[in-house]
């Protein structure tokens, strides 16, 4: 059979490719091999300068996919190895150092607060260990225990502890004198605190009240006051001349309010009328002077004024928060103060607290007297006053019983 008569399955010539018009080559299928792929687009050159602006790749012609640039990563800075044996830095869960954690600062603050509390407690205890203690309770019959607490406060004109320069500065005069210039009782209990002065010219059986005071032995004075008033003395404290000036300076001064101009060379005082700040020297002279209309009756009122001002300053927050003032205040006590035997630091704190209340809700007055000479007690007004203190009924004390100068209204 001839080749011309032979046809393919579809009637075409055998071996003839109807699509391409030629025969396929032996060993290959009916379709020719696909053309080779185009060469890849050239990769952009490496950029040696990262700060230059990179160009976006352009779309190559022919429909090929664009060149995908490999992302560039920043190099990791080199890690500095710790010194051999050194502990690794402490870091919290958030990666912050230990000092930056809130818990660490809370511990530091609590530690500082603990140290401050220790300081506040240790300084008074150290001071109290150096304070002189005086036996003040008399022997024999005494009034029974009474509600509340009554303190006897004696201001001595003793110059003990004062240098020659200080005696000259404070105009203290006789360096051998040691009399009770100030005699006051302070009662504190369920009602308002009451501070009462006794004029030093008050005469009992021919002797002035301050004549019963014996330096270092106040038992006779305590016994006389208990017999005349019926009030039991529970605690005792004594202060010398320099103590007033020292404490006033330690608390940064006090406010005084003279009702008239006062000039007294003997006391070293010259002040104008009206409220003003006074340092220790002026406050002491203001409490000592008798150069006013009523003499000693005016003086006891000024003494209460200074004492109340000191008590107010002693318990002010700044006296406690300021470590220097707190130290100076406590340091001034041992040189000029003495307390009764059995009086502890807690009793002393209660006394200071009661003193601070006198200038506020408390009452201040002078023993009721019959006239301006202040030599005789006015029993008609005095006995109800003493009874109110004995029974701790200070709310019942009237203004007629408790007057500034002790004179009737």
DSSP string, 190-232: SS--EEEE--TT-EETTEEGGGG-BTTBTHHHHHHHHHHH-PP
- pLDDT-derived band of residue 333, with 50, 70 and 90 as boundaries? confident
Listed in sequence order, the residues at least 6 apart from 56 whose beta carbon sits closer than 8 Å to its beta carbon are none
Beta bridge partners of 153: 184, 237
Query: The tokens of 43 are what?
Result: 């990769």
For the chain, give the percent of residues with pLDDT over 90. Answer: 27
- pLDDT of res. 187: 95
- pLDDT-derived band of residue 172, with 50, 70 and 90 as boundaries? low
Query: The tokens of 11 are what?
Result: 């009637």
126-396 under CATH 3.40.630.190, yes or no: yes
Nearest one of 19, 23, 17, 57 to 41, comparing CA atoms? 57
The more confidently predicted of residues 95 and 321 is 321
Residue-wise pLDDT tens digits, 348-396: 878 877 877 776 678 889 999 988 778 899 999 999 999 999 999 999 9
User: Do 256 and 284 contact (CB within 8 A), yes or no?
Assistant: no
Residue 39 has pLDDT above 80, yes or no: no
**Rounded CA separation 258/280 (Å):** 16
Nearest one of 377, 362, 363, 367 to 406, comparing CA atoms? 367
Q: How many CB atoms lie within 10 A of CB 164?
A: 9
Enclosing H/E stretch for 129: helix 102-130
Phi, psi of 264 (to 5 degrees): -140, 95
- pLDDT of res. 320: 80
Q: Which of 43-47, 161-165, 196-200, 323-327 has the highest mean pLDDT?
A: 196-200
Residue 18 has pLDDT above 50, yes or no: no
Residue-wise pLDDT tens digits, 67-86: 455 555 666 666 666 666 66
Residue-wise pLDDT tens digits, 253-303: 999 999 889 999 888 889 999 999 999 889 988 988 888 877 778 888 888
User: Do 329 and 314 contact (CB within 8 A), yes or no?
Assistant: yes
Q: Where are the domains of the chain?
A: 126-396
């Amino acid at each position: 059979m001839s080749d011309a008569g032979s046809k393919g399955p579809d009637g075409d010539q055998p071996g003839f490719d109807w699509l391409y018009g030629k025969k396929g080559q032996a060993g290959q299928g009916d379709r020719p091999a696909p053309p080779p792929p185009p060469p890849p687009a050239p990769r952009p050159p490496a950029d040696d300068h990262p700060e230059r602006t990179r160009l976006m790749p352009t779309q190559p012609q022919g429909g090929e996919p664009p060149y995908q640039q490999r992302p560039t990563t920043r190099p990791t800075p080199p890690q500095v190895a710790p010194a051999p044996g050194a502990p690794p830095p402490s870091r919290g869960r958030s990666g912050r150092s230990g000092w930056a954690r809130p818990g660490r600062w809370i511990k530091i603050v609590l530690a500082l607060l603990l140290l401050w509390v220790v300081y506040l407690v240790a300084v008074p205890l150290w001071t109290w260990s150096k304070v002189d203690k005086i036996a003040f309770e008399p022997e024999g019959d005494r009034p029974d225990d009474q509600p509340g607490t009554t303190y006897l406060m004696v201001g001595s004109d003793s110059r003990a502890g004062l240098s020659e320069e200080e005696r000259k500065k404070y105009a203290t005069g006789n360096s051998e004198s040691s009399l009770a210039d100030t005699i006051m009782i302070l009662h504190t209990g369920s009602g308002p605190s009451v501070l009462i002065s006794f004029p030093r010219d008050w005469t009992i059986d021919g002797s002035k009240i301050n004549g019963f005071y014996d330096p270092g032995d106040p038992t006779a004075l305590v016994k006389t006051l208990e017999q005349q008033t019926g009030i039991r003395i529970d605690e005792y404290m004594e202060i010398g001349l320099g103590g007033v000036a020292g404490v006033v300076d330690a608390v940064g001064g006090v406010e005084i309010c003279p009702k008239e101009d006062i000039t007294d060379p003997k006391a070293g005082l010259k002040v104008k009328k009206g409220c003003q700040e006074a340092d220790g020297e002026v406050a002491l002279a203001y409490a000592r002077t008798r150069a006013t209309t009523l003499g000693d009756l005016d003086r006891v009122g000024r003494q209460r004024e200074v004492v109340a001002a000191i008590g107010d300053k002693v318990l002010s927050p700044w006296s406690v928060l300021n470590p220097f003032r707190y130290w100076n205040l406590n340091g001034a006590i041992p040189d000029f103060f003495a307390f009764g035997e059995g009086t502890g630091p807690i009793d002393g704190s209660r006394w200071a607290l009661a003193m601070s209340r006198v200038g506020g809700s408390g009452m201040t007055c002078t023993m009721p007297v019959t006239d301006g000479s202040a030599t005789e007690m006015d029993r008609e007004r005095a006995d109800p006053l003493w009874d109110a203190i004995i029974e701790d009924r200070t709310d019942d004390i009237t203004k007629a019983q408790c007057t500034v100068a002790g004179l009737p209204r």
